[in-house]
Amino acid sequence: MTIEAGLTQLQVDVAELADESQRLAKSVTSSLAEIDAVKGDIQNTHNFVDSNYQAMNDWQTKHGTVTFKNLQGQNKQVNTLSKLILDSEKINPNPHVMSKAQFDALRELRKQQYAGSGFVEWGKHIEVNNVHEAINEGFYSHINTSDILGMARVNDGVGKSRSFYPVTIVDGIKHKIDRVASDSSQVFNRTKIQFPPAPDGTKTYDSATGVVTEYASAAEAFNERKYTTPIVEPSFVSWDAATNTATFSATSPNGPDFSTGKSTGAVKLIAVVESSENSIIELRDVTNPNGSAPLITSKTLSAGEATSIEAEYTATTTGVYFRVPTPQVGQTLKIHSFQVLTSTESVITSRKDLVFLETWHEKISDKDVVYPLGNVQYGGTTFYAMTMDSSPAGIAQGYSAFGEWDTAKTGRGHQWTTLTDTQKKKFIDNPENNIYYDSEADELIQVRYRIRVVEGSGADWDGYRAADNTGTMRYSANRHIKPWGFNADGHTRGDYLSGDYFFFVNKEHWESFDGSQSGSFGVRQQEAPYYSERGCNAVPIALVQRMNQGAYHPTYNPMGCVLVDNIADDNHGFWYESTVNPLYSTSDAFTKKSKVARSGAITGVSGRQDQYEFYDAIYAGQVEDLRLNANKLDVDQLREESMRKAVAGEMRGKGKVPFTFVMPLKQWTTGLVNQGWVCFIGPDSPINFYTHPVTKSIPRTAGVPNTSGLSTVGSFKVGGTVYTFDEVRLHVTGHQYIYFKLTAGTLGSTSKKTKVIFSLQDSYKSTSEFESLPWVDIIGDPERIAATFPNGVVGQWIPQVPVDSVSQQFPFNRKNMQGDYTRTYTFDDGASWTSNTHTTQETINRTDATFPDSRYVSLLHYESLSNFTQPSNNSVVIGGVGDVWAGNDARVDFGNRLQSTLSDEVGTTVAYTSNRYAPVDGYTVWSNGSVFMPDEYPAHTCLPSLGGVDGNMGVKALSTITEKDGLLYLQLHGAELKHQPLGAMHTINAGVAFDHTKGELAILQGFDSANFNVPVIFLNDKAMTLSKTSFNGATIKSDGTIIWKNGSIDTNLRVVTSSTAWGDDQVIPIVNGENVKTDLNGNTVKVFCHHTQIPLGIASN
């Protein structure tokens, strides 16, 4: 670089340094100015605080206003602290209690947190033999205490709940359920739900009017007319009132004429008559003996046999003439019973009681009382060391009653105005008491609850589950549940009403903070003020089947628990003993029951031979649990847990014990004979099966192609041959015809009379439902059963006839849960009976017996768990899809109950391989409906080998969760499996032509691909030839499916695998309800879509 260039660069550097020096000087000057400003601000702040110091002290200590000076030096008037507090108390005089806005904000928050109204915590329960039976989590029975169920068990309680006590959410409000009818001495049992006494036969229910009438006696309720004096013509008939017997003194048509005790119109009569001679009897509608009066019905009487006659008709008079057209001199006609009721009237002998939680908002000042937890049935004597009074402030007893029947229960609380401020604060500060302040009303409001128990009008409730679109909470269309709320007195208001002002579940009707929430019933907004300050809600808890206080009889009163009064003394005995009064009707079961104290009641002697000994005990098997889980549920987790419970036999359900009817009929001709149907008509005159009480509910499908009837189990005897059938139906137009479908063979027209026995699951005789069924199986020749029980008998016939002195195996109709069972039997058509305990082959679920005489008729009493699923339509799939479960195990906790509920078959295998799962490897759902496509079946991998022997039945099922009316259910699609051992195999050589039939087994031999020299099963009927190179390049899937070299599937052959013996095709059929298919072994098996009977929870987004 030259000297000139260096000087030039030096000048540039010096200029830059000068500029930087100027910038630094300016920065320093600016910073000094900022420091001066900060010093000024500090001084100003010091001056501001100093000037307001006294004002601050005055603001805290004085009342009124004080003057503060702001930073700009301006004066400002501010209310003092004491004045602010006084002003706030004008808005809320109890600032330590939540305002209505705060309370509602919490409600709204909980509605977002939970799926709906229901139980957040179940509480604890207990199970002790002969004392307590667990119903479900947090719910248990007291079987040695009359008319009681329990919730909440403290200290020794068990269960998954995090709380000893049930906790509910109702319309966003949390309630702790504790001390309901339980006083402070009850350390463990914290909630005791009380029930009305069991039915005693003194009340009737009219379904047309919804009216329940209570009578002074059962005889009056049944309108028993045999004790009244009939009209007779003395020249022809005499009447003995002591024995209720007419004696004929001439051969002219005649008989007694009784008053019905009812008005004209639609009525139903039940008569039990016994003639000393074979005869025909006519019942005519007339008040005086008149042979030309309208005929009600007629029946053939066998000498010495008490015969029941039932008829429904439109009465034109108030009398019934018992006319014998051709009597013999000296012939007697004994009237064992004659009852007439209106056609819609019935005596209540089977009843279900509804339990629910009712909540409402009430001003504390209205009754000047406060209740711990808002529980108006609080039984504790103290709360926070404060003494609680029974019926405080003169509260009417009905306010705390469980139902209109309850005249004793009183709740404990405290008069509000007599509490000190400190005591009031204790109530207010505890959020479990649900107290808030309504500034508009200037009132403290408490949200209160009671548990209500509504005595049913029978066993057939119409609306009781709080599912969306259920409608109303009601027993029937004219018997709605009446809300009580704050306007309650159980004695005067009653549990039912027929007009407006009842509980709704329709979302557009009922009062709720956001207008809609599943899980509870409510009242319409315009009706809420009658019951509550802000809505009144009902959350179902349970539906409880009751036994009755009549004598047990397998024909006339299967729900009775009492023994029968003796003839000669004041003692009692069982229905079959010769020392007791014979029973001929249901009314007899109540009028001739034992007079011995506590007969049929706790601590007494039961007249039953099953698990439901006493009428005043409530057993776990009588309870349908209606409680809903209010928590939002992970549906995939719910599906897996529900399937685990289903396989373990822990799911609860409900079912009925069938009744076996006996009908004298005459076999007739039919165009359906070639299809296995047999037609019958009335034995002597036409029967209108459309209106007959036994048959009127049977489907009318005969005469319509490709239709079926109602499932049944039955038999009849013609020409010495016993025929069995499994379906029954009526003709679509001919009311005089009834058809039965034979299980095998055909029967042409014989015109022979016989007595047909058949069991119906649903009938007017079978209205009671149980989780644990008091099952009865019947063994006997159908002819002998008809002779022993001419008016029918509870139970289901085992379709097998005893043979003289031959050891026989009788499979139970259902899974026997109790092992050895009580057997009551006769060999002389019921003239004498014996009762003893008999053994059970538990694994194979049968009893073995040798009857010395084929005339033996036996009743087998045992406990059997009900089904917990029911046929349903293929419905929307919520969440994912589970694995396929398959099983055939004899053990209830290994899938036996699940198999029975899905297929009506009982598993009889005990093996490590009788309860397995297989993954699903493909399924399709409709994109617009999220349901399985009915023509694209879900597929699964080859089922693991199930243990079994020839004839064993199994089942497979695919689990999903579905939603109906806002509630979640387990959905099960699947198929029945039937074990068929691999039989003898013949050899098929390569290159040799052969014919084969579907299901045939063979061993392939001589093929180049050694993998195919194996046993195969044929899937179709076909003639074919296979060369030795046919299988070159082909492969075999794990399920035995053959895949050809070009990728196509062989539809004719399948390699034998572990599942071949079960005929499984590795797909899950998608159907609505139930149907049948043919398996790969050629067997006809059931396929199904079932849903659980009882919902699993509330659906949520």
- Decide which of 91, 115, 148 is a domain's last residue: 91
516 shares its domain with 562: no
CA distance 713 to 792: 14
Question: What pLDDT was estimated at residue 83?
Answer: 61
Asked whether residue 637 is assigned to any structural domain, the reply reads: no
Long-range contacts made by residues 203-206, C-beta under 8 angstroms, separation at least 24?
203/347, 203/348, 204/341, 204/345, 204/346, 204/347, 204/348, 205/345, 205/346, 205/348, 205/457, 205/458, 206/342, 206/344, 206/345
425 shares its domain with 485: yes
The residue among 480, 477, 486, 464 whose CA lies nearest residue 376 is 486
Give SS3 for 1032. coil
1023 shares its domain with 1082: no
CA distance 161 to 153: 11
Question: What pLDDT was estimated at residue 530?
Answer: 80
Helix and strand numbers, DSSP H then E, in the chain: 10, 73
3-state helix, strand, coil in the chain (%, to 5): 15, 35, 50
- Decide which of 325, 347, 369 is a domain's last residue: 347
CA distance 349 to 589: 10
Residue type at position 320: V
Q: Which residue has the tokens 């009311």?
A: 735
925 shares its domain with 976: yes
pLDDT tens digits along 739-770:
999 999 889 888 999 999 999 999 999 999 99
CA distance 958 to 874: 12
176 shares its domain with 64: no
CA distance 1086 to 952: 14
295 shares its domain with 250: yes
Residue type at position 626: L
CA distance 585 to 222: 10
360 shares its domain with 340: no
DSSP H or E segment with residue 668: strand 659-668
843 shares its domain with 967: no
Asked whether residue 608 is assigned to any structural domain, the reply reads: no
- Decide which of 91, 116, 132 is a domain's last residue: 91
The residue among 578, 583, 581 whose CA lies nearest residue 832 is 578
Print the domain residue range for 137. 102-196+350-545
Spans of the chain below 70 pLDDT = 1-51, 53, 59-61, 71-72, 81-95, 468-470, 489-493, 499-501, 506-517, 670, 928-929, 983, 1058, 1101
Asked whether residue 643 is assigned to any structural domain, the reply reads: no
CA distance 915 to 927: 33
Q: How many CB atoms lie within 10 A of CB 453?
A: 24
Given a contact cutoff of 8 angstroms between Cβ atoms, the answer to whether 127 and 96 are in contact is no
Given a contact cutoff of 8 angstroms between Cβ atoms, the answer to whether 1054 and 1041 are in contact is yes
Asked whether residue 109 is assigned to any structural domain, the reply reads: yes
State the chain's maximal CA–CA distance in angstroms. 170
DSSP 893: G
The residue among 345, 354, 342 whose CA lies nearest residue 318 is 342
Given a contact cutoff of 8 angstroms between Cβ atoms, the answer to whether 851 and 804 are in contact is yes
702 shares its domain with 835: yes
340 Cβ contact partners less than 8 Å away, ≥ 6 residues apart? 223, 225, 260, 261, 262, 267, 268, 269, 320
Bridge-partner residues for 347, per DSSP?
204
Q: Could you give the number of structural domains in the chain?
A: 7
For the chain, how many residues are written? 1101
Question: What pLDDT was estimated at residue 37?
Answer: 62
6 Cβ contact partners less than 8 Å away, ≥ 6 residues apart? none
223 shares its domain with 331: yes
Strand pairing class (386-387; 295-301): unpaired
Bridge-partner residues for 995, per DSSP?
1023
Long-range contacts made by residues 562-570, C-beta under 8 angstroms, separation at least 24?
562/593, 562/594, 562/599, 562/600, 562/607, 562/615, 563/593, 563/594, 563/596, 563/599, 563/600, 563/605, 563/606, 563/607, 564/592, 564/593, 564/594, 564/607, 565/592, 565/593, 565/594, 565/595, 570/595, 570/596
Question: HEC string of 775-788?
Answer: EEEEECCHHHHHHH
DSSP H or E segment with residue 17: helix 3-61
169 shares its domain with 139: yes
Residue type at position 78: V
pLDDT tens digits along 420-433:
999 999 999 999 99
CA distance 260 to 580: 29
Cα angle 135, 760, 339; round to 5:
95
Asked whether residue 621 is assigned to any structural domain, the reply reads: no
Residue type at position 619: Y
Bridge-partner residues for 106, per DSSP?
none
Q: What does residue 1100 show for φ and ψ, rounded to 5 degrees?
A: -145, 160
CATH number, position 276:
2.60.120.260
- What the block records as the tokens of 938 is 């879900």
Question: What pLDDT was estimated at residue 85?
Answer: 52
b/e map of 276-299 (b: 16 or more CB within 10 Å)?
Answer: bbebebbbbbbbebeeebeebbbb
CA distance 994 to 1007: 15
Asked whether residue 139 is assigned to any structural domain, the reply reads: yes
Given a contact cutoff of 8 angstroms between Cβ atoms, the answer to whether 408 and 391 are in contact is no
Instruction: Please measure the distance between the N-terminal and C-terminal CA atoms of the chain and give it in whole angstroms.
Output: 83
Q: What does residue 1085 show for φ and ψ, rounded to 5 degrees?
A: -130, 155
Question: What pLDDT was estimated at residue 705?
Answer: 80
Give SS3 for 476. strand
CA distance 346 to 30: 105
Asked whether residue 325 is assigned to any structural domain, the reply reads: yes
Residue type at position 972: L
237 shares its domain with 300: yes
Bridge-partner residues for 883, per DSSP?
none
Q: Which residue has the tokens 């001919």?
A: 734
Asked whether residue 841 is assigned to any structural domain, the reply reads: yes
CA distance 1096 to 314: 47
DSSP string covering 519-584: T-EE-BTTTGGGT-SS-EEEEEEEEEEE-EEEE-BTTTBTTEEE-EEBSSSS-EE-TT-TTBPPP-
Question: HEC string of 325-367?
Answer: CCCCCCCEEEEEEEEEEECCEEECCCEEEEEEEEEEEEEHHHH
Question: What pLDDT was estimated at residue 97?
Answer: 87
